Amino acid sequence: MGPLAGLKILEFEAIGPGPFCGMMLADMGADVLLVDRPGESGLGLGRNRWFDVMMRGRRSATLDLKSKGGVEAALELAGKADAIIEGFRPGVMERLGLGPDTLLKKNPKLVYGRMTGWGQDGPLAPRAGHDINYIALTGVLHAIGRAGSAPVPPLNLVGDFGGGGMLLAFGIACGLVEAQRSGKGQVVDAAMVDGASLLAAMFSGMLAGKRWNETRGDNVLDTGAPWYETYETKDGKYVAIGSIETKFYEDLIFRLGLKDQNLPPQHDRKGWPALRTAFSQKFREKTREEWCAVFEGSDACFAPVLTFSEAQSHPHNVARKTYTRSGKVDQPAPAPRFSRTPGKIRREPPERGQGGKEALKDWGFSEGEISSLKEKGLGFA
């Protein structure tokens, strides 16, 4: 059933990190009811639900939150929920009459999860932004890239998903545990700028300890070191090495056939250009798959650089069942793994209103209450 089985989450339609949070909670067994906008999404994405992986596991009901009846219906839904997920700009839910003070008065044990980029307060709180902007403000974006080149956005993984949706899922889970002890709910203010900063916590310590400098591409973990790098192979593909520790580095040198070469010491920074040249030349002598064979069973911290599609068929990922198929889409399986109450993809992404009536019944609404909600504008099938 999943470790969160029995918990009811009310999620208001949003983009990016909000749905990612809802997916994580649904994967772990929470009953997530998605409150969709009526008709096509007003979010400007024009996306089809069948391949919108982050929407998996939910049931849906539609509701116009700008109508009086819509607000009343949302209040009734929140009264049955253990937690909510909302990703509007600060103040929007308050103006709708659905802010935390109102909902916590209706449901004192409610965990009110708020997902924003800049946070609920601060000078930038009311401004628009995207992942690239949030991680730019935290120092993370500046640190990613090669020496002498512009910063490189790491997709939208750091702000939206790691520092956003995953942070909110953690916050909601923490809030639910505390509410079980205290009988009181609270607001979870999950900001991507906070989450991205938190993900970079290690570098605060390294910077203070003078183990990191702020010149991009000049450190061990940012491609400054030739033994923590990607290299092109004979067939135009790439491999990655992370041979930081001495014994792993020695294995790397052995597997590359460079043991008898007069190479500079591993940590001699002046010798790094020579090491990089030697590694580059060597890796171009074989294809990616040939190098995989050379490094089979090795502790040199080697891996092929795979595409998303290739990753699904790698033997390790196949053995671990890291990917699964739901509907028409091959996708990552729920994680982390639990020995006794494993997570599971329970439903494909719902069309607007799909499964809503069934969800209302499961949430404890009577037929009369369901009819009343429908009169207030709640749409479901």
Supply the pLDDT for residue 47. 61
Per-residue model confidence as pLDDT tens digits over 266-304: 999 999 999 999 999 999 999 999 999 999 999 999 999
By C-alpha distance, which of 80, 77, 78, 89 is closest to 114?
A: 89
> Tens digits of per-residue pLDDT, 346-359?
999 999 999 999 99
Task: Supply 171's token pair.
Answer: 């916050």
CA distance 381 to 162: 34
**Residue 18 token pair:** 């909000």
Which residue in 36, 131, 160, 251 is the catalytic one? Answer: 160
* Span 221-264, pLDDT tens digits: 999 999 999 999 999 999 999 999 999 999 999 999 999 999 99
Choosing from 130, 218, 299, 362, the catalytic residue is 130
H or E stretch covering 59: strand 59-62
Give the Cα separation of 365 and 250 in Å (integer).
65
Fold of 220-232+238-304: formyl-coa transferase, domain 3 (3.30.1540)
- 160 counts as catalytic: yes
Please check whether residue 87 is in contact with residue 12, taking contact to mean a CB–CB distance below 8 angstroms.
Answer: yes
Question: pTM above 0.85?
Answer: yes
Distance CA(231)–CA(246), nearest Å, equals: 20
- Confidence check: pLDDT of 334 > 50: yes
Structural fold of domain 8-199+323-375? Rossmann fold (3.40.50)
CA distance 373 to 64: 12
> Catalytic: 36?
no
Task: State residue 79's pLDDT score.
Answer: 98
CA pair distance 31, 363, nearest whole angstrom: 9
Query: 314 — phi, psi (to 5°)?
Result: -65, 135
- Arithmetic mean of pLDDT over the chain: 96
Task: With CA atoms as reference, report the closest residue to 130 among 161, 101, 170, 175.
Answer: 161
* C-alpha span between 359 and 337 (Å, rounded): 26
Domain boundaries, the chain: 8-199+323-375, 220-232+238-304
